[in-house]
Amino acid sequence: YDYHRVREMPTAADTRQEKLGEQLQAAQQQMEAVHTERQHLLEQIEVAAEEERTSAARRAELETELQVLTREHRRACEEQGKDPNAIHDDMPIEPDFHGCLARVPLDKPHRQFDLMLLRLLKSKFTPADTEEEVPDASCPKHMCVVRPLTSAAMQAQMLRLERPEQHLVMKVMQNIDSWHFDVWALQDHTAKGALFYTAYALFARYDFLRKFNLDEQVALNFFSQIEAGYHPNPYHNSMHGADVLHIVHFILKPGGLAETARLTDEDLLAALIAGMIHDYDHPGLNNNFHVKVQSFLACLYNDRSILENHHCAEVFELMKHPSFNLLGGLTEPQRRDIRETVIDMVLSTDMGLHAKIFGSWKRRIAADHDLHKRKDSQRLALAMAIKMADISNCGRPESLYLRWSTKLAEEFFLQGDNERNRGDPVSPFMDRFAPSVAKSQIAFMNYIVIPMFESIAEYLPAMHFSVDHCESNKSYWTCNDDSL
């Protein structure tokens, strides 16, 4: 009788049981990942279904319009003795590519907005000189929707506000020149309208509507469509667009870039546009993912700054539509200047280009701090501004920073779930079953954020406090390591 085998049997059974337990745990984790991704996909399906219903309604309208036009065409042909089914030389045979071919996220030109809030915001920054009402017929384009109040009338109106949300929004807007500006609170109190209201407030703050005689209705349409064009991603959503827009403004004005680099009004307008559109139509999957799966966008842009090119192209295509042509009233040289600056700024947010752009910046300021002498130097400074704004969460107060870092981690994990379910290797820092938020954040701050913030602070000393916030936030992860 093999007594040694009797003693070994329990050990072998234990080993098999342990292995089965590990397999069960792995299966459960995979089920959780699939469930999480399913929930995310269901949310996206719901959004897509709403867009599909809107598209179907629009298609029905177009079919009705086509029937009317067809009847009119046949009647006109009969009157002229022409065959209505023949192709005439004066009929177009291909689409008009000069028109707008971009998708329109909303089924109407603009979102619902609180007119009184807009009036208070405009009055806060550009109050009326007199209480005399301007007749509609003689009202300039820049105030064809919202008429400002005088400062005294605004103060009186603030005391008569009936809805508490209006008081809360105006309280948030008091900090629009502060690093602590809270887009989270603004999102909660404006029916998810943080980007729309921040954009309008800043355009009023810079008086752009009047300076460039912009059509106010078109501006409201544009802000609405840009906000609606952001997907409901955990991180790359319209609230992130509002946050980056605000930080670009902070760097320009309180941070001192506008004055130090002697930027023009066209530069400032381009910077705000770039801030609000910089992640328009972001799908929640990064450039590396698109390259790996060779998506349509990866093929379209030849694997080069895929999403950044897409953000710009979609917005400028949208501007071809008269209802959203924000720059329609500007001169051709102004439009070309602003377009080039916006493209430079948005493309610079591609982290794959970080070393190249940051290296150019360090060499430029080492050679000469007077960046106003050359247009390309001013644009490089603006590129650095939006790059800082895009990753500014690391340099924000801890309460804001942790909320953003949690959302970013969730979006990374969703991409990791997608990769795992495709059978692909999970990208670094995107595996929810092997979390390493602390390590990734510390490494990101050490190698990317702090060196860049320090360099910008060398040129703009008023921005140095952001480095201190980074160091404080880095210390948080040192004490709260989430690695398994």
Q: How many CB atoms lie within 10 A of CB 118?
A: 21
Rounded CA separation 436/484 (Å)? 8
Rounded CA separation 226/277 (Å)? 7
Rounded CA separation 211/207 (Å)? 6
Alpha-helical regions (H) of 81-127 = 115-125
Residue 168 CB-density burial (10 A; 0-12 exposed, 13-18 middle, 19+ buried):
middle
For the record, the structure tokens of 457 come out as 């602070």
Residues 317/358, Cβ–Cβ less than 8 Å? no
Residues 477/441, Cβ–Cβ less than 8 Å? yes
In 191-311, DSSP assigns E strands to none
Rounded CA separation 101/469 (Å)? 44
In the set 110, 236, 240, 249, the catalytic residue is: 236
Residues 197/241, Cβ–Cβ less than 8 Å? no
Return the exposure string of 206-223: e unless at least 16 CB atoms fall within 10 Å of the residue's CB, then b: bebbbebebbbebbbbbb
Tell the residue number behind the tokens 């992130």, with chain if given.
Answer: 240
For the record, the structure tokens of 129 come out as 């000189």
> What is the dihedral angle through the alpha carbons of 99, 105, 107, 109, rounded to the nearest 10 degrees?
-60
Rounded CA separation 275/389 (Å)? 8
For the record, the structure tokens of 298 come out as 């990866």
* 236 classed as catalytic: yes
Whether the CA torsion 67, 49, 308, 392 is positive or negative: it is positive
For the record, the structure tokens of 233 come out as 């991603």
Q: List residues with catalytic annotation.
A: 236
